Structure 1
Amino acid sequence: MVSDRPTLPPVRLHSDAELARDALASPLLARAVRLARWAGPDTRVGAGGELADEQLPEAARVLGLEPDKDGAAYASEAWRVAVDTGLVDVVEPSETEEGDHGTATAGENLALVTGGAPQDVLGLWLDGLDVVFADATAPVLDDIADVIGENGEIDFDALDWDPEAEAEFLEGVLGNLYLLTVAEGGSGEGPVPLPALAASMIVPDDMGEPTDDVLEQVSEAMMRLDDQFRLLEPIGLVAYQPVDEALMAEEGEEPAPPVDDEDVSRYGMVRLTPLGLYGIRARMLEAGVDAPAVGDLADKGADTLLDGLAQYPEPSARAETALWLARRDPLAGARELLAAARGTDAGSPLRRLHCQQALSLVGADAEPAVRDVLDDPELGGLARVWLAERGASDVPPPPEAMIFWLAIDTIAAQLDADGDLEELQDLVEGLTGQHSGFFDAAWRVNHPSTAEVLEAMGRLHRDKQAAKEARKAAFKARSQG
């Protein structure tokens, strides 16, 4: 039986064009682009490329913001993104005659905003996401004077801050959010409560009732995540409903995780946007994580398609198959699928099941290819089922050996598909009910999964006598092997 399953289900992404539009519409990147167009020879920057303090009020006004402290902070953040994404080029102070200040000009990447392909725009956005992610995992400095060393530099040891651990924690949180979004073909429409997300990283899986110490850690993580999601929302990664400030009993006090489900939304709700799904997947791929997307198999051969579909939930498998078929002539595609469905390896039953499902999407154009395999010992049963479902009247009756081989193959495929237990029990009981003496014949079937299937039938059948017969048949099948 097939046991390999990917860590992550396939994600259904929007098109590159749609995602690029979302990227350009994200508030932070839009502000960065606006400042890049405003930058010129009179724009003064510091040694690190940051906007000079006296430039911040004007930059805020360019963004349509008040030239106050908040406006200056938004302008400073957008400027940093513009510099780090190449939308702005900074001329170092040593290369100018401006004293301690450098100047800035529009960067080469600014042209990509209007003249680049969608992938170029998404590349800019991913660079911007890196900037924001670094900000989100930076230490919180309540009083910077407390952590300035004798040399005038920040003493990171005094902060008790581990940059790798901070980044790993946020990556883990976003990974869990991604998994919750794509599980079972989900589209990510529903937001996730912040307490649940924090608990997913802290509460051990085998812990029953969390201890007070663990609950305190969850509460601290919630507040850190609240700050981080507020930073990640403007880049378009998430849609976030912050923690209700009214829950704070007094300034600086952290709220306890909720015990009343009706109040859970007040403790923060977050979901990945379609752009966020793209961004987190891109980061996973860069880190070497297997994060498939619907459409990955569309240009592959039928053998790769059918093997890959074994790892997909049903809605994603159907969408992937439709994309694969759309690129091929229907009859040629059907022939390729049938050829790839052959085999006696562990994954072959599930390949044949997905082949049959794919042929249902092809329609009548597949009929010549299906009729060509009526005498094939592995595909003949599948072909007869397909023709019968389409109302064909001239389907030759199958030999008895083919009937039982198809029964074993069908159950083997369903076992590998990890389907609904009750449906599988109904299938098992339906097959045994249709054929008197099923187990007397089934143990002789020359199928690589015969013994395994009969053992499973013994576990699944709700009739004790039939279950006992299945176990005996499994023993006979193993003995003859």
Structure 2
Amino acid sequence: MSAERPVLPPVRLNSEAELARDALAAPLFVRAVRLARWAGPETRVGAGGELVEAQLPAAAEHLGLPADEDGAAYASEAWRLAVDTGLLDVTDPDGEGEDGGAEGTVTAGANLALLTTGSPQEILAIWLDGLDAVHADATAPLLDDFADLVGEDGSIDFDALDWDPEEETEFLDGVLGNLYLLTLADNGAGDAPVPLPALAASMIVPDDMGEPTDDILEQVSEAMMRLDDQFRLLEPIGIVEYQPVDEALMAEAGDPAGTAADADEEDVTRYGMVRLTPLGLYGIRARMLEAGVAAPAVGDLADKGADALLDGVAHYPEAAARAEIQLWLAGRGAGGAVPAAAELLAAARGTDEGAPLRRLHCQQALALAGEEAEPAVRAVLADPELGGLARVWLAEHGATDVPAPSEAMVFWLAIDTIAAQLDADGELDELQGLVEGLSAQHTGFFDEIWRVDHPATAEVLEAMGRLHSDKKAAKDARKAAFKARSRAGG
């Protein structure tokens, strides 16, 4: 009935201070910072800004890593992140190094000082640059046999890579998006680790497919192993907690994803398990926002007007809507209950499709505002759109001097209430109970209610005809809906 629903539910993020602390504690970021502080005037870099090979053992040793191939790889990875995040500034090569290659130097970047003097937002901005860099590494082509790509003239045959950067990025972003959605499921209670085969299958297996074909299973297997590599790269930047695919399993099965579908509950963890961290929720949401995706967060509306609040929480889960409204009310400060309630009531007026749901959330917001809102509520008792909800609020707060509503107001409130619940996509049993309860309160309900001057009257009566369990009442509702449409000229 109302405006387009948001695709993503709102996320509850940790505070920026907590997230900044998490960012500074991410293992790869920690190593990058240590190397940035270790670098000095004698540190030499190659033409691409990379640490020259001769200095990698010393860098690895500074990080407490062994001075072997693995240690050098970790040190090189951390160095690249320090450069990519502005912790280090690279100068252009000014001469030839000992091996004949051009070499440059580095100095501390402006962002290095911000890690100790900057705000949480500034620290998170630096970390997000690091996430982008690691994401790019995770979607880079796998060069298992680089020599095969180099021609006789020394040129690289990029076509032989069979690599589409846009496709790779879209796939990984899709996987992270699915993980984000799974984490927010059930009001944020769905943050348990997700089996890697299930995550890979979510991107490969069509929704309407019954038994996957061998070709589809092979694609899932390939995607799963690619994701295993990617999550191993992404974990050190702090966005996921990842349990890799059991290497012994790979040796046993040869095709781990091919047998994952048959694994029992005890074995499924051997196929890889991944979970988004609170920092990961923040980072993935930031990437979504940058890509133009509507990814709301609880607290986004705290400094907005009441109209934006009521429209914004229209299709939030109940707990998220309640939290958003509480933040909005808290922002009005002590003594702000009356003007806040008046602003909410003014925003709840209207005859557009979204108005019934706005009034429902206004009623919920007024309940959270407390007894201090009473003067603003009493001020709308005579309002044809708000008088009904005002009487309900006053009765719930124990008021005994509330004037009785007119029959027209009672019927109008019944239509408005059901219209709001239809728009909210509530539970069918609850909606059916509401429909039957309201219609049973008044003798001859369907003989009168079709005359209600509400934009949703006909639509509500049609819904009552579908939902009412009593066949006669359902038939009366359909007849009343026809009368309402005829009365409205439609």
Q: Same fold by TM-score, threshold 0.5 exceeded? A: yes
- Which residue pairs with 1:290 in the alignment? 294
Correspondence for 1:268: 272
> What is the aligned-residue RMSD (CA, Å)?
1.5
> Which residue matches 1:459?
466
Tell me if the contact between 2:256 and 2:271 (Cα under 8 Å) persists in the aligned partners.
no
What TM-score do the two structures reach when normalised by structure 2? 0.95
Q: Is the 8 A contact 2:197 2:257 kept in 1?
A: no
Of residues 230, 252, 260, the one that matches 1:228 is 230
Query: SS at the partner of 1:288?
Result: coil
Could you tell me which runs of 5 or more consecutive residues in structure 1 were left unpaired when the two chains were aligned: none
Aligned-pair identity (%): 77
The answer on 1:86 being equivalent to 2:86 is yes
CA distance in 1, matches of 2:223, 2:359: 47
SS in 2 for 1:93: coil
> Which residue number in structure 2 is paired with residue 384 of structure 1?
391
2:221 is the counterpart of 1:219: yes
- Larger CA deviation: 146-155 vs 419-428: 146-155
The one-character-per-residue Cα deviations of 1:111-169 (angstroms, maximum 9, x if unpaired) are 11001111111111111111111110111111111111234243221111111111111
Partner deviation per Cα, 1:275-331 (whole Å, 9 max, x = no partner): 111111111111111111111111111111111111311111111111111111111
Q: What is the DSSP-based 3-state SS (H/G/I as helix, E as strand, rest coil) of the residue aligned with 2:451?
A: coil
CA distance in 1, matches of 2:387, 2:124: 48
Contact 2:130 2:237 in 1 (8 A): yes
Q: Deviations over 1:227-279 (max 9, x none)?
A: 10010000001111111222224596443132234132221111111111111
Is 1:174 aligned to residue 179 of structure 2?
no
Shift in alpha-carbon separation, 1:94–1:252, aligned structure 2, 3 A: farther
Deviations along 1:40-84, one digit per CA (max 9) or x if unpaired, are: 011121111111111111111111111111111110000000011
Q: Summarize deviations over 1:432-474 as a string: whole Å, max 9, x none.
A: 1222211111111111100000000111111111111111110
2:390 aligned partner, one-letter code: A
Letter of the 2:169 counterpart = A
2: CA distance between counterparts of 1:280 and 1:375? 48
Between the aligned partners of 1:248 and 1:7, the Cα distance in structure 2 is 37
Letter in 1 for 2:247: E
Counterpart position of 1:103: 105
Q: Which amino acid aligns with 2:48?
A: G
Q: Which moved more, 1:421-430 or 1:262-271?
A: 262-271
Residue matched to 2:10: 10
- Tell me if structure 2 keeps the 8 A contact 1:173–1:201: yes
In the alignment of these two chains, the number of paired residues is 481
Contact 1:258-1:267 within 8 A present in 2 as well: no
Matched to 2:435, the amino acid is: V
Deviates more, 1:341-350 or 1:259-268: 259-268
Pair 269,156 (structure 1): closer, same or farther in 2 beyond 3 Å: same
Aligned-partner Cα distance in 2 for 1:187–1:96: 57
Structure 2 CA distance for partners of 1:435 and 1:95, relative to 1, 3 Å = farther
In the alignment, is residue 156 of structure 1 matched against residue 155 of structure 2? no
CA distance in structure 2 between the aligned counterparts of 1:370 and 1:479, rounded to whole angstroms? 36
Aligned partners of 1:270, 1:338: CA distance in 2, in Å? 45
Is residue 45–residue 51 contact of structure 1 (8 Å, CA) maintained in 2? Answer: yes
Is the contact between residue 465 and residue 475 of structure 2 (CA under 8 Å) also seen in structure 1? yes
Contact 2:184 2:191 in 1 (8 A): no
C-alpha contact 1:338 1:355 (8 A) present in aligned 2: yes
Shift of 1:182: 2.1
Runs of 4+ residues over 6 Å off in structure 1: 95-99
Match of 1:57 in 2: 57
The one-letter code matched in structure 1 to 2:460 is V
Question: Deviations for 1:158-208, whole angstroms, at most 9, x for unmatched residues?
Answer: 111111111111011111111222234315531111111111111111111
Q: Which residue of 1 is the match for residue 262 of structure 2?
A: 259
- SS of the residue aligned with 2:242? strand
Q: Structure 2 vs 1, CA of residues 76 and 4 (structure 1 numbering), >3 Å: closer, same or farther? A: same
